Copies of this chain bind each other. A is one copy, B any other.
Amino acid sequence: MKHPKKKRVTLQEVAKHAGVSTATASLVVRNNPRISDKTRKTVMNSMKELGYVYDRVAANLRSQSSNTVGVIITDISNKFISEFLVGVHETLEEVGYTVLLGTSFDSLAKQDHLLSTMLEHRVGGLILDPVSGSNAETVNRLNQMNTPMVLAVRELPEVKSDYVGINYRKGSLMATKHLIDKGHKRIAFLGGVRTSSTWIERMDGYQYAHDNAGLIIDNNLVVDSPPTREGGLEAVLQVLRNPDPPTAIFCFNDLVAFGVMQGLRMEGFNPGQDIDIVGFDNIPESDVYHPPLTTVSSFPRQTGVEAAKLLLQQLSDDSHEQQRLILEPELIVRESA
């Protein structure tokens, strides 16, 4: 874990080489205007000549500041999350922050460990996409350290914090209503983890759309599963064993929808013709899938941008009021429903 290096050139050496004091050299590296142009040039030359590299770690230690931000996510390979990260990165790097990234692989223990590590690394703030089982205690350590935090993607009950997420309920409502408007009365809801806030909110919208139309949900048509293609495949096979199968399917996300379509084909159905399908997320593949998937667009990149912006606000403003930002989704109608 340790790795001593060849000695770095220090600011002191630069100062000596340039014939000024260390304090002056320090002011030069930080572009302080009260240094004369002449001195500045001399020092800059010495820096170049000696191959000086600024030691941000030492500087941050002394000035008790930080220009790193910790970001903890559950799974990079999830397309929603990786797009989210793009948004976070472009916003944070733009203003000179460096990102410490940790992946919890959906393990609470790993998440706890990463939180500790980030605090030990003196991050200026933190963006957290929490694992499902996260509780208030997990997160309170941050408040104790007085480290600004933004929660993203998944909301945590009982945790007071800035939050950026999608209006899953509304998205789910739109998707379900679209299917009802097409005349469907038996609409399955497949995939997703029943205990997660993201599932519960979708269930809410699905329920509400039914209520509005005076329709009753057949609980046999609601099957949870991991939010993956494999999960969707299993869920649809289970629901098809039903004596009275659904005529349309609302899927937890697009990956689940792909699995569902695969399962339908295996069972001899023609997705989009025999059975209508709606997904959620609008991942790039949904557009080129066969048939193109009707889905709810959920703006992962913008979610990342907003999360980063909220954090930057906290970082620059101590009297920052707690904010909750919910991005509105959009229904993208294609051929699958």
Which of A79-87, A151-159, A202-210, A235-243 forms contacts with chain B?
A79-87
Q: Cα distance A120–B56 when bound, in Å?
A: 5
Q: Are B54 and A120 in contact (CB under 8 A)?
A: yes
Interface residues of A in 104-161 (CB under 8 A from B): 105, 110, 114, 116-122, 124-125, 144-148
> Which residue of chain B is the closest to A118 with respect to CB atoms?
B98
**What are the residues of chain B within 8 A of A31 when measuring CB–CB?**
none
Most buried by B among A101, A118, A289, A315: A101
A262 interface hit (Cβ, 8 Å): yes
Say yes or no: is A220 at the interface (Cβ < 8 Å to chain B).
Answer: no
Q: Tell me if A169 counts as interface (CB < 8 A to partner B).
A: no
A145 and B55 CA atoms in complex are apart in Å by 12
Q: Is A121 within 8 A of B56, CB to CB? A: yes
Bound CA span A116–B51, Å: 12
Give CA–CA (A79, B57) in the complex, Å. 33
Q: Which residues of B contact A117 (CB under 8 A)?
A: 56, 98
Interface residue? A259 (CB, 8 A):
yes
- Chain B residue contacts of A83, Cβ below 8 A: 76-77
A102 at the interface (CB under 8 A from B): yes
8 Å CB interface, A267-293 against B: 284-285, 288-290
User: With A and B bound together, what is the CA distance between A110 and B55 in angstroms?
Assistant: 20
A side interface size, CB within 8 A: 72
Q: Is the CB of A121 within 8 A of B102?
A: no
A176 to B181, CA, bound (A): 49
Q: How many copies does the complex hold?
A: 2
Which residues of chain B are within 8 angstroms of A57 by Cβ–Cβ distance?
Answer: 57, 60-61, 120-122
Tell yes or no: A4 within 8 A of B by CB: yes
Bound together, the chains give a CA A258 to CA B290 distance in angstroms of 10
**A57-B122, A288-B258 known; A64+B5 contact, CB < 8 A:** yes
Q: Given known contacts A4-B64, A145-B53, is B284 in contact with A229 (CB within 8 Å)?
A: yes
| Contact B61 A3, beta carbon cutoff 8 Å | no
| A2-B65, A5-B64 known, 9 other contacts, Cβ within 8 Å | A1-B96, A1-B97, A2-B66, A2-B67, A3-B148, A3-B316, A76-B83, A77-B79, A261-B288
Task: List B contacts of A51 (CB < 8 A).
Answer: 144
Question: How far, in whole Å, are A103 and B85 apart by their CA atoms in the complex?
Answer: 10
Is A216 engaged at the interface, CB distance under 8 Å to the other chain? no
Is there contact, CB below 8 Å, between B101 and A89? yes
CA distance A211 to B54 in the complex (A): 54
Q: Does A213 contact B (CB under 8 A)?
A: no
Q: Is residue A6 within 8 Å, beta carbon to beta carbon, of the partner chain? A: yes
Q: Can you identify 23 A-B contacts, CB atoms within 8 angstroms? A: A1-B65, A3-B66, A3-B148, A6-B145, A54-B120, A55-B61, A55-B120, A55-B122, A56-B120, A68-B100, A68-B121, A76-B76, A77-B82, A77-B83, A86-B103, A89-B102, A89-B103, A90-B103, A98-B121, A99-B101, A100-B101, A229-B288, A289-B289
